[in-house]
Structure 1
């Protein structure tokens, strides 16, 4: 599988990245065996970039991902995790964590912490859960309500760790484009993980973030290319940004699907390939919870997408006329 550099840095990532929230029991449980099989299938498909976070399943995602990668050569893959939420034991807590989206016992609580000490503690705890001696990429995770602390305390600490060689790259991961654009302007980050804001249905990342990233030599990893499900399988009840899709968006997704199929292209394939039309995009990250999903994502990314498809989507007003689209993939 093709690998691309993350901006100016030395870290290279495969075009397809494994998003490990699913194996942290996102919404519904996944067994240890299913999690291991999902990672193994992604590896067999050529994926060498794996992303996780303490937030995902209160550490379950990190533990399972570390266990599944334990037998893989460490120098052959890139692993990213995130900082900003500290997990603290909650021995008296009862029930599950579904209020935060994860089907796991609520044995820990999350505490927001974008201090320098919080960054160090978070990374130390992640290394312990992963059973690894290093992390390749560290993202500031969802600092929407903590922008100043993330900018003035957490980021400088990550920069120091990168300078010391502890981290290969640093970045910010969010489902909005405005604050990451500020980080590109005001810091020396290597990468932005942009979730849900550069897809066939939502191109808000193109207004400022993507051109700025290309100008400054910052890599972009695009997550949420299926917009939480609507572009994977548009039908009544499908979700967009983790909520029921509005009728207008569902109709638009169905029109996209119809045109894709008339060109012999599954909608999932077009959704995965679309972000690579922009030169700043290095990888697309797909949340994966099973071996079948891992294999499907890899197969869809390999499907040829004719230039005539992009042209028709623009002609019919389903994509803006000026949005960059990929060349035909052979």
Structure 2
């Protein structure tokens, strides 16, 4: 597998590299990040060959988009793919409960109205410094299903038809609403965060529907919020302390990986690629060194016996495809 190969998103002309940079951590999660480090992290990804960058107004309340734009300024716009998100607008005022630290004096509020989506895209273009984004993802519309279908999606569909954006998708952490959306509108892609990972595969029905309907899946959150980095009593899972039972399962995964001399993180990055619905895996980083480390993990050889052992021990869904032993090239 070549992680820098660019593959189609749905039936559109948009193409994404098979390995992308997630920029949520650059927004100051779990701690504030200096601007120069944020920009250098994106720049390191570019220099390493990464050509897909996912961001959102929520990430650092605009900081992440600004870092991406600053790092990529001057590069050939046709040489890389940008996705950002709509459904949250930035308004004045500090949010004391924000996940992000060191943010400017604005906060994100849900708003899926057509007018807000247009404002959101305009703001994203300004912060990025580019006149277009390739993919617009509706961000966490868990409680806004009807409004998205009646108002948000029709606007994005028109913008797609007019060439203002190249593809329309959703970005969510829950598979159930995505399964509904998949059958009710013509979405090109779905960014699924933390729900198709080495730890959990309950979203397999969604991936099968996506495959049939030619909806590309972007697998994100492959470490389940940090749990699969180093599972322990202080681990986080979905931005909260990890339940003991979940930590125990992650430790069993880690033990099997250790038996074969494979870092748990390497298996976590490689696993989603085996499903044919998955076009791309997006992994976050907070420093240039983390970009390098993620690419090193991606290239780690993993024996087929590791995957079969995980299945034999009931740690993978019996229907989940597993990677072959093909080396990661480039």
Give the TM-score normalised by the residue count of structure 2. 0.95
Quick one: distance in 1 between partners of 2:203 and 2:136?
Answer: 21
Partners of 2:27 and 2:103 within 8 A in 1:
no
Partner of 2:228: 231
Task: Summarize deviations over 1:254-291 as a string: whole Å, max 9, x none.
Answer: 22112112222211111011111110001111121111
Partner of 2:318: 321
- Secondary structure of the residue aligned to 2:59 is coil
- Secondary structure of the residue aligned to 1:102 is coil
Partner of residue 158 from structure 2, selected from 156, 160, 174: 160
Partner of residue 279 from structure 2, selected from 282, 289, 305: 282
Partners of 1:232 and 1:268 within 8 A in 2:
yes
- Secondary structure of the residue aligned to 1:103 is coil
Partner of 2:288: 291
Task: Summarize deviations over 1:115-151 as a string: whole Å, max 9, x none.
Answer: 1111111101111111111100000001111111111
Partner of 2:52: 49
Cα–Cα, structure 1 residues 111 and 253, in superposed 2: closer, same or farther, change >3 Å? closer
Q: Which moved more, 1:303-312 or 1:221-230?
A: 303-312
Matched, 1:19 2:37: no
Partner of 1:253: 250
* Stretches of 4+ aligned residues off by more than 6 angstroms: none
Partners of 1:306 and 1:329 within 8 A in 2:
no
Q: Which moved more, 1:179-188 or 1:155-164?
A: 179-188
Deviation at 1:325, TM superposition (A): 1.0
Partners of 1:98 and 1:104 within 8 A in 2:
no
Partner of 1:148: 146
- Secondary structure of the residue aligned to 1:168 is strand
Quick one: distance in 1 between partners of 2:234 and 2:261?
Answer: 25
Quick one: distance in 2 between partners of 1:202 and 1:248?
Answer: 13
Partners of 1:256 and 1:318 within 8 A in 2:
yes
Matched, 1:216 2:213: yes
Partner of residue 194 from structure 2, selected from 193, 196, 201: 196
Cα RMSD, aligned residues only: 1.4
Partner of residue 306 from structure 1, selected from 303, 322, 330: 303
Partner of residue 169 from structure 2, selected from 148, 168, 171: 171
Partner of 1:80: 83
Quick one: distance in 2 between partners of 1:50 and 1:105?
Answer: 20
Deviation at 1:304, TM superposition (A): 1.9
Deviation at 1:182, TM superposition (A): 1.4
Partners of 2:217 and 2:279 within 8 A in 1:
yes
Partner of 1:240: 237
Deviation at 1:111, TM superposition (A): 2.8
Partners of 1:27 and 1:98 within 8 A in 2:
no
Task: Structure 2: give runs of 5+ residues left out of the alignment.
Answer: none
Quick one: distance in 2 between partners of 1:64 and 1:45?
Answer: 17
Partner of 1:39: 42
Deviation at 1:98, TM superposition (A): 5.1
Quick one: distance in 1 between partners of 2:77 and 2:10?
Answer: 22
Q: What are the within-5 Å matches in structure 2 for residues 257-268 of structure 1?
A: 257-268=254-265
Deviation at 1:40, TM superposition (A): 1.6
Partner of 1:70: 73
Deviation at 1:100, TM superposition (A): 1.6
Deviation at 1:106, TM superposition (A): 5.7
Quick one: distance in 2 between partners of 1:261 and 1:314?
Answer: 16
Quick one: distance in 2 between partners of 1:60 and 1:306?
Answer: 40
Quick one: distance in 1 between partners of 2:229 and 2:75?
Answer: 30
- Secondary structure of the residue aligned to 2:61 is coil
- Secondary structure of the residue aligned to 1:221 is strand
Task: Structure 1: give runs of 5+ residues left out of the alignment.
Answer: none
